[in-house]
Amino acid sequence: MPHKRTTRLVAALTLGVALTACTGNTPQNTQSGDKGGVKVANDEPGKKVVIGFSAPAADHGWMAAITNAAKAEAGKYSDVELRVVEGTNDVNLQISQVETFINDKVDAIVLLPFDGAALTPVALKAMKAGITVINVDRQFDSPFAARSTVLGDNHGMGVSAGTYICEKLKGRSDAVVAEIAGIDSLPLTQDRSKGFAEALANCGLKVSNRVAAEFTVESGEKAAANLLQAARKIDAIWNHDDDQGVGVTAAIKNSGRSEFFMVGGAGSANVMREIKADNGSHKATVVYPSTQGADGIRLARLAVQGKSLGDLVEVEVPRQVELYAPVVTKENVDRYLPTAFES
């Protein structure tokens, strides 16, 4: 979905530790700090915050994890009331959901829009009504449509994947690198491919074979089967999405091929377990955090209560947070498994 590059305050916060100063509101976790002369105590219960949450239908593992993580995060706070509407890929229905939140006069709305451009007008309406809007993952067309935006780093995913492959194939200028992309018409896919090509070029490699899937198991299997038929020799594959990677893995098993290693994308638990066991083609995956909705809940709470991020000197929550795209390998997988999503 649209991912416009605006001037950004980039918080390089890894999965599961983003916004660490705001974890829970139990006494043992309380953290305070002197922020520009203003005392903050992010974990102490404060003014009650009613948050409306809307996201697309949970038709794949990553999207289901977004909503589940948001619910779990809200449940940690005695001062948060979360109202979750049913996920939908119907733009008009999602607009109607936001309209209901506005009419109900909620304090904040955390919104992962099915279509950022289409949801921009109703998000603007909410902001004009004095409701704090936190935009998640797919950006609006107007900077005035949200107080803060939480994003994954699509370009960074490609850079991370390409850098890892360069390190693994060091000195192999003749190496054959393949890419299984997501939906080619989406800017997020284009950003991932661009970052991947740039990282490979930095070590003298390039994408030799490329196919595109549609972020689904079925499309992943079909695209991978076509790739394996077209390329008789492959040294490394980057698959953009671990949900479609279920199909990719099935196609690889059916082919009987094992001469290459694979890097996944998004960071599913099933891929991480394979990496940890070291018994399959996956040797790494690049995280696209499914914590974004949960981070949105935390930001909404802080913004409404007039608090800041405990680890920043700034007395307001950031305008934009872009989460880091780390590479998960056998060496560090235990750090990321607890917040991974199930494909």
Question: What is the rounded average pLDDT for all residues in the chain?
Answer: 89
Predicted confidence (pLDDT) at residue 256 exceeds the cutoff of 60? yes
User: What's the pLDDT at 5?
Assistant: 38
Structurally, how many domains does the chain consist of? 2
Tell me, yes or no, whether 168 and 141 share the same domain.
Answer: no
- Higher pLDDT residue, 121 or 37? 121
Query: Does residue 337 lie in a domain region?
Result: no
Mean local confidence (pLDDT), 179-208: 95
Average pLDDT of the residues in 267-280: 96
The answer to whether residues 240 and 178 belong to one domain is yes
Mean pLDDT, residues 282-300 taken together: 97
Examine residue 8 and state whether it is found in any structural domain, yes or no. Answer: no
Same-domain check for residues 160 and 120: no
Q: Is residue 84 located within the same domain as residue 164? A: no
Calpha distance 240→162 (Å, rounded) = 11
Secondary structure (3-state) at 30: coil
| Same-domain pairing of 101 and 113 | yes
Rounded mean pLDDT, 257-277: 97
Give the helix, strand, coil percentages of the chain, each rounded to 5. Answer: 40, 20, 40
Q: What is the pLDDT of residues 47-62, one digit of tens each?
A: 999 999 999 999 889 9
Q: Which structural domain, as residue segments, surrounds residue 34?
A: 20-151+290-322
pLDDT band at 31 (very low <50, low <70, confident <90, very high): very low
CATH number where 35 lies: 3.40.50.2300
Q: Mean pLDDT throughout 178-199?
A: 95
pLDDT band at 110 (very low <50, low <70, confident <90, very high): very high
Q: Is 342 inside any structural domain?
A: no
User: pLDDT at position 32, please?
Assistant: 41
Residue at which a domain ends, from 243, 262, 287: 287
- Are 211 and 301 in a shared domain? no
Residues 65 and 87 in one domain: yes
Do 87 and 146 lie in one domain? The reply is yes
Residue 315: per-residue pLDDT: 87
- 272 assigned to some structural domain: yes
Type of residue found at 87: G
Question: Does 339 score more than 50 pLDDT?
Answer: yes
Residues 190 and 260 in one domain: yes
For residues 19-23, give the mean pLDDT. 38
215 and 159 co-located in one domain = yes
DSSP E strands, 224-277: 236-239, 261-266
Out of 237, 270, 287, a domain closes at 287
Out of 242, 265, 287, pick the residue that ends a domain.
287
Which whole number is the average pLDDT over 285-310?
A: 95
Residues 258 and 307 occupy one common structural domain:
no
69 phi, psi to nearest 5 deg: -70, -35
Question: What is the pLDDT confidence band of residue 25, given thresholds at 50, 70 and 90?
Answer: very low
pLDDT, residue 40, reads 56
Confidence of residue 313 (pLDDT cuts 50, 70, 90): confident
User: Does residue 36 lie within any of the structural domains?
Assistant: yes
Summarised one tens digit per residue, pLDDT across range 229-247 is 999 999 999 999 999 999 9
Q: Say what the pLDDT of residue 60 is.
A: 86
- Reported as a single tens digit per residue, the pLDDT across 198-223 is 999 999 999 999 999 999 999 999 99
In a domain, 12, yes or no: no
In a domain, residue 192? The reply is yes
pTM comes to 0.82
Q: Which residue has the higher pLDDT, 11 or 317?
A: 317
Q: Are residue 168 and residue 125 in the same domain, yes or no?
A: no
Q: Poorest-confidence range of 4-13, 172-181, 311-320?
A: 4-13
Instruction: Report yes or no: 180 and 220 within 8 Å, Cβ to Cβ.
Output: yes
* 318-327 CB burial, b ≥16 within 10 A, e <16: bebbbbbbbb
41 in a structural domain: yes
